Amino acid sequence: MNKLALSHDSIGIIASSLCMIHCIGTPFLFIAKACSTACCADTPLWWQAIDYIFLFISFIAIYYTTKNTSNKWIAPSLWLSWFILSLTILNHSFQLINLPNNFIYFPAGLIIVLHFYNLKYCNCQEKECCTMS
């Protein structure tokens, strides 16, 4: 029996990519909604909840990825990117400071790139599988 085995990096890449698609699609969805109705221009709560679901999934993926990476700078980079992403999502929800809407693509894209890098060069299943750099 074939089991579908995804690494934590793959899950992180998928979650971050879906998050970016969600963020890119949001303006188009609400432009279409605004054209069809005149009321309720606010983002529905269920749509905002998707941000936090992706944030939680990326947290789990980063947690397990950083336990198996062989490169010392990958773990802090992933956590810093996740922290910036979470602050950006919180800021988007509560309008704490004025940030451009497109800023969210930077930490989400960085998480994707770091997961790809770790998947290709730094993934370890054993303690001494490759050199620490």
Closest CA to 9 of 53, 75, 76, 72: 75
- Does residue 81 surpass a pLDDT of 50? yes
45-49, 92-96, 100-104, 115-119: which range is least confident on average? 45-49
- Does residue 93 surpass a pLDDT of 80? yes
Mean pLDDT of all residues in 73-78? 94
- Residue 29, pLDDT score: 64
Go through the chain and tell me how many residues it has: 133
- Residue 80, pLDDT score: 97
Model pTM score? 0.70
pLDDT in tens, 12-60: 888 888 877 777 776 666 655 555 454 555 667 777 788 898 899 899 9
Residues 6+ apart with CB under 8 A from 117: 74
Mean pLDDT of all residues in 91-101? 87
Phi, psi of 123 (to 5 degrees): -85, 125
